Amino acid sequence: MNKVDAPIILALDTDEIATATAWIEATSNSVDIYKVGLEFFLKHGTDGLRELRAVRNFELFLDLKLHDIPNTVAGAVRSIRELQPRFLTVHASGGASMIRAAAEAAPDISITAVTVLTSLDAAELSTMGIELAPLDFAVALARNAVSSGARAIVCSPMEVAEIRQAVGSEVEIITPGVRPTDSALGDQSRVMTPREAIAAGANFLVIGRPITSFFAQSPQAMSERALQILESLT
């Protein structure tokens, strides 16, 4: 599988620039897109991202999960537009007007709607007053988000097939809830193996600890782990 076809998005779940840089360098032969979330962005901001991209010009999955009134979200999107992320996340539960405002604020960015967090199960949703099953809730959120301008969806792999059927083939589906068979679940409740998630219809897999934990052994071990997972998809 060529690097340009690689469906792995590596999660840079660290607040240290040196660590994130080392992870990027270790996976340069298997990963093109890197996820930066709140942990890193709140500490280092746009300057930190520029520093990472000075090492290697990668495509960015900016995982901020914006969720506020439409005007505030639109302003937030405009404030980071110069970073040119490929994907920028918003919470699908923010509603149609919020998602539309985000999409209109940056038509060159793929506004990516997060449906039901993979750490949530039916019991957790019920305590929040949501009686829909995770699958039904995620599908409803995805349909509404796409009709409001979202071009990508984040969901559990357990919902990928149904969401793909609901939103069509043009929408990119990204799933963070993947674990190789030899990896611990961590804080994920609804998971599949990487190969199962791709077979279900996901375009991209967000993977963090099952790859980054190998850096403690060596950069080479981390590189080999990423390639191992990538090759398991063929």
Q: Hey, which residues are catalytic here?
A: 65
Classify burial at 185, counting beta carbons within 10 Å of its beta carbon; exposed 0-12, middle 13-18, buried 19 or more.
exposed
**d(Cα 30, Cα 146) in Å, to the nearest integer?**
30
Q: Report the alpha-carbon distance of residue 201 to residue 199 in Å, rounded.
A: 5
Closest CA to 42 of 19, 8, 65, 75: 65
CA–CA separation, 84 vs 49, rounded Å? Answer: 11
Task: Give the residue carrying structure tokens 């599908």.
Answer: 139
155 class by beta-carbon count within 10 Å (0-12 exposed, 13-18 middle, 19+ buried) = buried
Is 143:93 a contact under the CB 8 Å cutoff? Answer: no
CB count within 10 Å of CB 44 equals: 18
Could you tell me which residues are beta bridge partners of residue 28? Answer: none
